């Protein structure tokens, strides 16, 4: 029977291209007959792999060193030593062994890849650049890595050239676009950055993202007037496009051209082609503007946020709060419910929606909603109060008292909220003709009023 370790080594040797001489047969010997040195090598090699597998790296290295002395022409041994020394962060020894492996088998991709990993682990980006060049043909990822290596060594022109190569081969990428932007900023090449964006916009004149990138970059560099002019020029050349209004509304607000700003805002919010996050930004900015300029609140109330805005919890919550402030109860409830679907554990939204149900005399809904939420948040006494008030108006006094008595254990601070709680209980006990309890809770309220 053939020992399993010899089978393992046989296939391992095939996979790593052991020299043909090591597996050569002799016509005068049986197929599995091997020399003493070969048998010793295979035993040590097998033991080394086993020790490496259980992360006993020192012992694995000892066995591989024996292997290297038995057959110093076998590249795989030096590769294994290089890998082990890398794991142990013995970088000098790792490098010398990997270089030996590559010298013995210059066509092996993985030996070269391991050497590249070694230099990256050391943050030795200069050597990593040289090590990665023979790997570029294998996968796009190595070409992407080269960009960052050039950038990390301050070779900004080379990094930009490599990005150009990748763009021409694989098309534009948002990640590479961001990397390019970072390189221009890091190298303080404002002119080069703007020129590139203008040039790209000419070649992709209908690309809305490219236009926004140019406007955003001009604004970042403090060139707001140029950004404004670029926005107006884009609108002139693309009069039916919605995208310039994403930038123009802000410029109009800054210029106090409020009617134009409102028009651009309405175009953005009504658009079926703009990305939701762009609409969210415009709406949030305009909500803030109306807070500071309440004379324009009517214009905002005329806007019906598009369904595509549902992806933004922040926008839904803000719109709910806004409509609530404006006594637009139906709209407020609609957006509170949207916000709650996105953040079911948000107590601020839960309490606001519960209070809204009570305010609009939806007592049944208020009771069901708060009872459901009390099970999830048993310490929130504000929910008990709303539940109790809803049941009070429904004349379900016993049900209200039963729940409020449970909530007493969670009143940890004698404050105004506690006073409201005690006052509600006093009213409920009065309704159920429990005069003693009603008096007791009225006294609690008076005691808090005196302390205040």
Based on the number of CB atoms within 10 Å of its own CB, is 24 exposed (0-12), middle (13-18) or buried (19 or more)? exposed
Calculate ∠ Cα 185-189-192, nearest 5°. Answer: 115
- pLDDT (mean) for 400-418: 89
- pLDDT (mean) for 319-334: 82
Tell me what pLDDT residue 324 has: 81
Kindly list the domain boundaries of the chain, sorted by start residue.
Answer: 1-135, 344-452
* Domain 1-135 shares a fold with domain 344-452: yes
Q: Does 448 have pLDDT greater than 50?
A: yes
Q: Does 15 have pLDDT greater than 50?
A: no
* pLDDT per residue as tens digits for the range 140-183: 999 999 999 999 999 999 999 999 999 999 988 888 988 999 99
The answer to whether 197 touches 214, Cβ cutoff 8 Å, is: yes
- Of 267-281, 358-372, 385-399, where does mean pLDDT reach its minimum? 267-281
- Of 298-307, 374-383, 424-433, where does mean pLDDT reach its minimum? 298-307
The dotted CATH code for 1-135 is 1.25.40.10
Percent over 90 (pLDDT), the chain: 51
Based on the number of CB atoms within 10 Å of its own CB, is 93 exposed (0-12), middle (13-18) or buried (19 or more)? middle
- pLDDT (mean) for 251-264: 88
Q: Does 204 have pLDDT greater than 80?
A: no
Residue 81: pLDDT band with limits 50, 70, 90: very high
Q: Does 414 have pLDDT greater than 50?
A: yes
The answer to whether 111 touches 75, Cβ cutoff 8 Å, is: yes
Reading phi first (left if > 0) and then psi (alpha if -120 to 50, else beta), residue 222 is in left
Tell me what pLDDT residue 17 has: 44
C-alpha distances in Å from residue 294, one per residue of 95, 253, 302, 305, 328:
69, 14, 14, 19, 16
For residue 207, give the nearest of 164, 249, 172, 252 by alpha carbon: 172
* pLDDT per residue as tens digits for the range 97-134: 999 999 999 999 999 999 999 999 999 999 999 999 99
Tell me what pLDDT residue 18 has: 45
In whole numbers, what is the pLDDT of the chain averaged over residues?
85
Query: Which structure tokens are listed for 110?
Result: 């993985």
**pTM > 0.75:** no
Q: Does 304 have pLDDT greater than 80?
A: no
Residue 5: pLDDT band with limits 50, 70, 90: very low
Which CATH superfamily is 344-452 part of? Tetratricopeptide repeat domain (1.25.40.10)
Percent over 70 (pLDDT), the chain: 88
- pLDDT (mean) for 40-67: 95
Tell me what pLDDT residue 10 has: 38
Question: Between 326 and 200, whose confidence is greater?
Answer: 200
- pLDDT (mean) for 245-251: 88
């Amino acid at each position: 029977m053939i020992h399993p370790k010899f089978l393992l080594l046989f296939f391992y040797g095939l996979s790593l291209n052991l020299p043909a001489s090591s597996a050569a047969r002799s016509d005068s010997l049986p197929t599995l007959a091997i020399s003493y040195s070969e048998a010793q090598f295979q035993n040590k090699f097998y033991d080394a792999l086993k020790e490496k597998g259980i992360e006993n790296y020192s012992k694995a290295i000892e066995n591989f060193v024996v292997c290297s002395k038995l057959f110093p022409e076998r590249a795989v041994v030096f590769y294994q030593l290089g890998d082990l020394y890398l794991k142990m962060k013995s970088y000098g020894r790792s490098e010398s062994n990997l270089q030996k492996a590559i010298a013995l088998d210059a066509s092996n991709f993985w030996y070269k890849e391991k050497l590249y990993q070694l230099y990256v682990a050391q943050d030795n980006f200069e050597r990593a650049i040289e090590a990665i060049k023979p790997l570029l043909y294998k996968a796009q990822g190595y070409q992407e890595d080269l960009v960052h290596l050039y950038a990390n060594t301050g070779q900004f022109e080379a990094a930009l050239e490599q990005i150009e190569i990748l763009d021409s081969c694989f098309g534009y990428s948002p990640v590479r676009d961001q990397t390019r932007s970072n390189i221009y900023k890091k190298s303080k090449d404002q002119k080069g950055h703007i020129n590139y964006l203008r040039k790209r916009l000419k070649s992709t004149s209908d690309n809305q993202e490219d236009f926004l990138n140019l406007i955003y970059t001009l604004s970042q560099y403090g060139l707001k007037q140029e950004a404004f002019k670029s926005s107006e020029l884009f609108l002139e050349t693309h009069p039916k496009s919605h995208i310039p209004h994403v930038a123009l509304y802000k410029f109009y607000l800054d210029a106090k051209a409020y009617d134009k700003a409102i028009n651009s805002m309405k175009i953005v919010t009504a658009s079926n082609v703009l990305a939701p996050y762009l609409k969210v930004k415009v709406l949030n900015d305009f909500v803030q503007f109306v807070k500071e300029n309440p004379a324009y609140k009517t214009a905002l109330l005329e806007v019906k946020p598009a369904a595509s805005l549902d992806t933004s919890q922040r926008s839904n919550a803000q719109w709910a709060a806004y409509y609530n402030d404006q006594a637009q109860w139906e709209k407020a409830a609609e957006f509170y419910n949207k916000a709650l679907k996105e953040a079911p554990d948000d107590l601020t939204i839960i309490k606001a929606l519960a209070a809204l149900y009570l305010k609009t005399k939806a007592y049944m809904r208020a009771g069901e909603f708060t009872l459901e939420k009390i099970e999830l948040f048993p310490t929130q006494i504000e929910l008990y109060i709303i539940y109790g008030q809803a049941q009070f108006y429904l004349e379900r006094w016993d049900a209200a008292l039963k729940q409020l008595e449970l909530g007493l254990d969670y009143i940890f601070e004698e404050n105004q909220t506690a006073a409201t709680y005690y006052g509600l209980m006093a009213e409920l006990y009065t309704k159920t003709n429990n005069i003693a309890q009603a008096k007791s809770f009225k006294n609690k309220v008076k005691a808090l009023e005196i302390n205040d």
